[in-house]
C-alpha cells in the first residue's frame, strides 16, 4: 500500500460448517489449539453465509467493528489476535493504518448454528484478499474461532489438532471437495434461534476441567472415528457416514452431561427429533437420515438427495408449522414441496406430533468455501469507510 492510496476495501462471503466429528476442548486457550482433531461438512453459501467488508486506511483513527448493524467493541482479544497476525505478515506496508470491519449473517448469531465459524472465516479470508496474502489462512482463522479454520475450505474438511506448541501444525485440510459427493444435502431443523445459555467457550473450559469422559473420548475414541469417517467420505458410504455422525454427536453431548455442573444443550424437542430419526431408520432397516447437534438445540440432518422428500415429509408431519407456512422451509425446498406422510410409516413410528415446536427448516447442501464479491454495490461500507446503513 502506498501513501497515494487513501483507502481500499474488499468484500467476501464465507460458509457455515457443521462438524460430524466434533471439536470440544482446548489444550491452549490463547492459540486455540484443540485436544482432538475434528471433521466437518461445509454448507453452501447460497443458503447460509457471513458477509464481510473490510476497509483499511491511515485516515482511520482506530479499528472499528460493526456486526449485523450494531457497532461492537473492536478491542476483543480474538479479533485483535487475527488482526495482529495479518499485520505481522504485511509489515511496514500497512504501518499506521487501521481497519473498519462490517459483517452480517443471514442466519441467527450465537444460536448454535456456527455463526462464529462463518464470521471469523469471513474476516480472515477478506483480510487475505485485501492484502493478497498467500499464507495458510486457516491458521489465522483458528485464532478467532477454532472451527472457523474449517470454513476456509469447501466440501469436507479436517482440522488437524497438531502437536507443536506454537500451533503451526494445527491447520485445516480438505478431505474431499464439494464436487466429490454432490448428493449430500442438509436439513437444519431450527428449534431455537435464541442465544444459547452456555457459550461454547465457557462450556469447553468447564468440560476440560471436570469431565473424565472428555479425556477418554479425545484420546481413545476420536482417532478411530476420524479414520472411519474419512474412509466413509472417500467411498461415499452413507451407511457408515450416518452411523459415525450420530455416534459422535451422542458422545459429544454425553461429555456435556458428564461435565460438572452438567451442560444440557439439547432440549425436549431435540430429543424428540432423535427419536423420530431413529425410528424412521429402524422402519426402513437402513439409514435414511442422520442427526448431529452442535452446542445448541438445533438439529442438523445429513441426508442424501433421493431421501430428502421422505425426511421432509416426516419432519413436517411430526413438527407441523402452525403459522407462516411460506417461510417455514427455506433454501432448496419450500412448504409446497412437502408430500403427505404415509399412514403406514406413522403407525410404525408411533410418536405424537409437536405443532409449532420448530422455528423453521433450512434446506441446503455441502458447498464450496469462501469467495470474493467483486461488485462494489455489494460492499457493506461506503466511500467514507462507514456502514452504508
- Hey, how many other C-beta atoms are within 10 angstroms of the C-beta on 141? 33
Q: Do 300 and 289 contact (CB within 8 A), yes or no?
A: no
Q: What is the pLDDT of residue 35?
A: 98
Q: What is the pLDDT of residue 337?
A: 86
- pTM score, whole prediction: 0.95
Q: What is the pLDDT of residue 109?
A: 52
Q: Which residues of the chain have pLDDT under 50?
A: 1-4, 110-111
Q: What is the pLDDT of residue 113?
A: 65
pLDDT tens for 55-80 read 999 999 999 999 999 999 999 999 99
Q: What is the pLDDT of residue 4?
A: 42
Q: What is the pLDDT of residue 112?
A: 54
- Cα separation, 250 vs 246, whole angstroms: 6
pLDDT tens for 94-144 read 999 999 999 999 875 544 566 889 999 999 999 999 999 999 999 999 999
* CA-closest candidate to residue 185, choices 272, 280, 289, 81: 289
Q: Would you list the DSSP string of 368-379?
A: ---EE---GGG-
Q: What is the pLDDT of residue 114?
A: 63
Q: What is the pLDDT of residue 19?
A: 97
Strand arrangement, sheet containing 329-331: 290-293, 299-304, 184-190, 360-365, 329-331
- Cα separation, 154 vs 377, whole angstroms: 26
Q: Do 335 and 321 contact (CB within 8 A), yes or no?
A: yes
* CA-closest candidate to residue 56, choices 121, 6, 124: 6
Amino acid at each position: 500500500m502506498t501513501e497515494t492510496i487513501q483507502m481500499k476495501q474488499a468484500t467476501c462471503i464465507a460458509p457455515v460448517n457443521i462438524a460430524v466429528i466434533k471439536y470440544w476442548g482446548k489444550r491452549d486457550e490463547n492459540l486455540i489449539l484443540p485436544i482432538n482433531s475434528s471433521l466437518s461438512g461445509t454448507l453452501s453459501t447460497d443458503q447460509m453465509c457471513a458477509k464481510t467488508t473490510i476497509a483499511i486506511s491511515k485516515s482511520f483513527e482506530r479499528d472499528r467493528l460493526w456486526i449485523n448493524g450494531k457497532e461492537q467493541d473492536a478491542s476483543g482479544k480474538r479479533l485483535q489476535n487475527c488482526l495482529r497476525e495479518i499485520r505481522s505478515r504485511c509489515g511496514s506496508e500497512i504501518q499506521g493504518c487501521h481497519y473498519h470491519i462490517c459483517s452480517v449473517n443471514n442466519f441467527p448469531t450465537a444460536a448454535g448454528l456456527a455463526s462464529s465459524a462463518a464470521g471469523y472465516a469471513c474476516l480472515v479470508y477478506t483480510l487475505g484478499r485485501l492484502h493478497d496474502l498467500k499464507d495458510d489462512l486457516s491458521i489465522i482463522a483458528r485464532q478467532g474461532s477454532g472451527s472457523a479454520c474449517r470454513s476456509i475450505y469447501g466440501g469436507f474438511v479436517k482440522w488437524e489438532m497438531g502437536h507443536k506448541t506454537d500451533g503451526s501444525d494445527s491447520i485445516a485440510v480438505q478431505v474431499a471437495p464439494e464436487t466429490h459427493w454432490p448428493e449430500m444435502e442438509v436439513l437444519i431443523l431450527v428449534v431455537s434461534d435464541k442465544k444459547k445459555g452456555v457459550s461454547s467457550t465457557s462450556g469447553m473450559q468447564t468440560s476440560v476441567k471436570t469431565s473424565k469422559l472428555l479425556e477418554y473420548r479425545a484420546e481413545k475414541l476420536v482417532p478411530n472415528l476420524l479414520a472411519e469417517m474419512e474412509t466413509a467420505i472417500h467411498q461415499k458410504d452413507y451407511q457408515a457416514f450416518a452411523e459415525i455422525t450420530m455416534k459422535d454427536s451422542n458422545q459429544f453431548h454425553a461429555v456435556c452431561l458428564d461435565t460438572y455442573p452438567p451442560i444440557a444443550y439439547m432440549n425436549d424437542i431435540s430429543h424428540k427429533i432423535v427419536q423420530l430419526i431413529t425410528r424412521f431408520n429402524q422402519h426402513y432397516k437402513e439409514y435414511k437420515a442422520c442427526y448431529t447437534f452442535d452446542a445448541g438445540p438445533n438439529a442438523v440432518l445429513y441426508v442424501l438427495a433421493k431421501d430428502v422428500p421422505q425426511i421432509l415429509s416426516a419432519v413436517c408431519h411430526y413438527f407441523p408449522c402452525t403459522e407462516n407456512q411460506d417461510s417455514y422451509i427455506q433454501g432448496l425446498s419450500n412448504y409446497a414441496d412437502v408430500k403427505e406422510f404415509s399412514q403406514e410409516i406413522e403407525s410404525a413410528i408411533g410418536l405424537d406430533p409437536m405443532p409449532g415446536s420448530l422455528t423453521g427448516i433450512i434446506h441446503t447442501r455441502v458447498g464450496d468455501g469462501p469467495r470474493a464479491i467483486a461488485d462494489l454495490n455489494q460492499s457493506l461500507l461506503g466511500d467514507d469507510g462507514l456502514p452504508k446503513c
